[in-house]
Chains A and B, each alone.
Chain A
Amino acid sequence: MSFAIGTLVFLIVSFVGSLGVRLFYNQNPATNLLNITLVNTAVVCCWLTWAIVYMAQMHPLVNPIRKAEGE
């Protein structure tokens, strides 16, 4: 369930970022498109790493086994 919440957070970041570019750094349409692409590529990349690391820990095949004293 929290995977969905995390993804939602990234979606919100992407939306806010795109909106921010449009509102606070408004230039000609071509440049705006580039800047929005940059923001979203960055968000997608970040989401991807987060999602991968998250999923990998959902059902780990090995569990953390602490090292014994002096190991």
Chain B
Amino acid sequence: MATMELFRSEAMQLVQLIVPAESAHDTISYLGEIGLLQFRDLNKDQSLFQRTYANQVKRCGEMSRKLRFFKDQINKAGLIASSRPVLDKELDLDELETKLDDMEKELLEMNQNNEKLMRTRNELVELQLVLRMAGDFFTDAQSSAAYYQRGLEESPSIGESMDSPLLLEQEMQTDPSKVVRLGFVTGLVAKAKAMTFERILFRATRGNMFLKQAPIDAPVVDPATGEKVEKVVFVVFFAGERARMKIMKICEAFGANRYPFPEDVGKQRQMMAEVSQRLSELQLTIDMGEEHRTSVLNSIGYQLEQWIVLVRREKAVYHTLNMLSVDVTRKCLIAEAWCPVFAKPRIQDALHRAAMDSNAQVGTIFQPIQTKESPPTYFKTNKFTDVFQEIVDAYGIANYQEANPAPFTIVTFPFLFAIMFGDWGHGILMLIACLALIVNEKKLGSQKLGDIMEMAYGGRYCILLMAMFSIYTGLIYNEFFSVNLSLFGKSAFKCRSPDCSDDSTAGLIQDGHRVYPFGVDPAWHGTRTELPFLNSLKMKLSILLGVVQMFVGIILSYFNARFFSLPLNVWYEFIPQMLFLGSLFGYLSILIVIKWVTGSQADLYHVMIYMFLSPTDDLADNQLFPGQNVVQIILLLIAMVAVPWMLLPKPLIILAHAQLSAVFYERVMLNAVETGNIIAIIIGFFVFACATVGVLMIMETLSAFLHALRLHWVEFQNKFYKGEGYKFAPFSFYRLDVDDE
């Protein structure tokens, strides 16, 4: 009979490869394509820099740095690197190295030039702004001065001491000989700093200055930093050379760019025209440079992915070569590696091809070697089983070839989740969400997802089973968004009297010996006895399922013991554990079933407690079957014998999900419906829907998931699973590419 897939990890073998030096590189890269060899580091005593191929690894590192630089540049320019790497076999690493080097230099130079040009352009833009705004100040001032002058002429008695907004013209008119000539500085300063700038200027010149500023509508690019900043244009007037020096210094300290501003209007116009012309010329140059740069980046981007993959692989190949020990004659390299036995023909084939392709005179010698070391654990998983193996691996990697819980976990994990989650309405929502993931599997798999999305995508098949089992258990619990439906026929309960008058006092009565055929009878819903009944049911359900799961775990330990031919484990571990579990919890389970089937009123707590305290006492009312005392004494003795293996049962999580859901339903939805107000109902439904999705679906999903995880790890796996192995980590190009992305 075939061994079940996934039950035991693949048979592994340690092999030795003696590779001729000339074909070493090809051999390793061919093996990387197969990806089923885990090389052992034979140079553990050497540091990374001392090894044979340290130089090549360094070169590859340098190259990948350049490639990252290109990628960065491409991303910054808003271009997209082609994402379909087609490996060009002809491409040589050395050629690529020089190519990358040249391209990096070219790109750096272009960037530098571009930066210079941009700086000049930004300066010109600022100058243009200054010319325009400051020009406005002066014309404004002139017109208002003229206005005041007219005012003065009309009423000479008042206006004598009145200041015009700009002192310049008036002062010059009144007494040109006495006045110190006023100087001014124009420029731009960041809006955020404008206030302090003004204050400092005022203090430094002791108020002997005049500042005029105007904000610019759109933010301008600062020439020095290249960032967009909100700025104001300012003109500051001052008197004297000392003041000028001070102001210059302050300007510098504030990062205010100063620009020349001719007083003469004609010159202003001329300068304006010059600036505009230079600006348009510069823009042309910049545009052309940009275009050239884009085309260069585009051509890089076209091949970038391919180069990245090549360099990554080459680096990995040299890194692996560094793990090989070099023969004294330096003619061949010796490798030791773990490989699955099934992969040996493929490996031999690859070795053969590598030797042919590199024209080596001798082929690689491939031979198994004996070792006492424990081989790595390797499970061949597919996209469906992968996530379940991950759940098991998170607890611990299986020992080599020990029984793997994963084949059972695939069903029992989602099932236990569903036992706690159980609502088929919620289950359907989950199923829809999960089917959306599975239908778009290919599309989602190729793109980057957020953390939560990534998790949901990785676990999509687990979620699928969780949803399906949740629908099943929801049907069993008769919960549909915490509403009961009579899907499986009429309730097995009926009123005692035809008019149902005593249904809230004496309650309903069972209709003969009829039992509701599937799941919980809808008659229970909303009754006063619902909670006591369901709690008792769910507690016993938990006990029974828990006991069954523990039994399965112990039985698996038998398979392990038999597989590794360890009779001691069978006699001193498996059998006493079975006896102990059977005589206490197995017995309890049987009592539960007997009580249900016979309808006995016996108190199981009492039975179990007095089984220990006074096993010989008469059970009286609590007797479930004849001869129970004798049976109990025997079981107790068996348990005593097995005591060293005593494990305290950890009660399963009682299913709180349904209660919480009901609270939301009653408090929000029903209250809203009772008001009769359509808006209240809509709002109520909205809140109910949000609560359902937010709290019940996500929170409860997570908590049920965690409990299911705990049950598997603690209750099930620790019965048989050692989990002290180490994972098979082969040298594989495929894994390399996946990990890097």
List residues of A whose CB falls within 8 A of some B CB: 2-3, 6, 28-31, 33-34, 37-38, 41-42, 45-46, 48-50, 52-69, 71
Closest CB in chain A relative to B11 CB, distance in Å: 13
| Chain B residues within an 8 Å CB radius of A65 | 503-508, 527-529
The answer to whether B597 has its CB under 8 Å from any CB of chain A is yes
**Nearest A-chain residue to B534, judged by Cβ:** A56
Complex Cα gap A66–B509 (Å): 12
Are A55 and B597 in contact (CB-based, < 8 A)?
A: yes
Chain B window 508-545, contacts with chain A (Cβ cutoff 8 Å), 1 for yes, 0 for no = 11100101111111011011111011001100110011
Given A54-B515, A56-B596, A67-B526, A45 and B412 contact (CB-CB distance below 8 Å): yes
Are B508 and A66 in contact (CB-based, < 8 A)?
A: yes
The answer to whether B644 has its CB under 8 Å from any CB of chain A is no
Complex Cα gap A46–B97 (Å): 62
Complex Cα gap A63–B527 (Å): 9
State the majority secondary structure of interface residues on A. Answer: helix
15 A-B residue pairs with CB within 8 Å: A6-B518, A28-B5, A33-B5, A41-B411, A45-B415, A52-B541, A53-B537, A55-B593, A57-B520, A62-B529, A63-B508, A64-B523, A64-B524, A65-B506, A66-B507
Are A63 and B529 in contact (CB-based, < 8 A)?
A: yes
Contacting A48 at CB < 8 Å: which of B507, B513, B526, B548?
B548
Are B492 and A57 in contact (CB-based, < 8 A)?
A: yes
List residues of B whose CB falls within 8 A of some A CB: 1-7, 407-408, 410-412, 415, 419, 469, 472-473, 476-477, 492-493, 503-510, 513, 515-521, 523-524, 526-530, 532-533, 536-537, 540-541, 544-545, 548, 593, 596-599, 601
**Nearest A-chain residue to B500, judged by Cβ:** A66
Contacting A66 at CB < 8 Å: which of B6, B515, B526?
B526
| Chain B residues within an 8 Å CB radius of A45 | 411-412, 415, 469
| Chain B residues within an 8 Å CB radius of A33 | 1-5
Complex Cα gap A54–B514 (Å): 11
Closest CB in chain A relative to B573 CB, distance in Å: 24
Are B599 and A59 in contact (CB-based, < 8 A)?
A: yes
Given A42-B411, A48-B544, A64 and B2 contact (CB-CB distance below 8 Å): no
| Chain B residues within an 8 Å CB radius of A37 | 4, 407-408
Are B493 and A63 in contact (CB-based, < 8 A)?
A: yes
Contacting B540 at CB < 8 Å: which of A3, A50, A52?
A52
| Chain A residues within an 8 Å CB radius of B7 | 34
Q: A30-B5, A65-B528 are in contact. List 17 more A-B contacts (CB 8 A).
A: A2-B515, A34-B7, A41-B408, A42-B415, A45-B415, A49-B472, A53-B537, A57-B515, A57-B520, A59-B597, A60-B510, A60-B533, A61-B601, A63-B493, A63-B507, A63-B509, A65-B508
**Nearest B-chain residue to A64, judged by Cβ:** B527
Are A62 and B415 in contact (CB-based, < 8 A)?
A: no
Are A64 and B508 in contact (CB-based, < 8 A)?
A: yes
Q: Which 4 pairs show the lowest CB-CB distances between chains A and B?
A: A59-B599, A65-B507, A29-B2, A41-B411
| Chain B residues within an 8 Å CB radius of A54 | 515, 517
Closest CB in chain B relative to A67 CB, distance in Å: 6
Are A46 and B472 in contact (CB-based, < 8 A)?
A: yes
| Chain A residues within an 8 Å CB radius of B593 | 55
**Nearest A-chain residue to B419, judged by Cβ:** A49
Closest CB in chain B relative to A9 CB, distance in Å: 10
| Chain A residues within an 8 Å CB radius of B540 | 52, 56
Are A58 and B599 in contact (CB-based, < 8 A)?
A: yes
Complex Cα gap A52–B545 (Å): 9
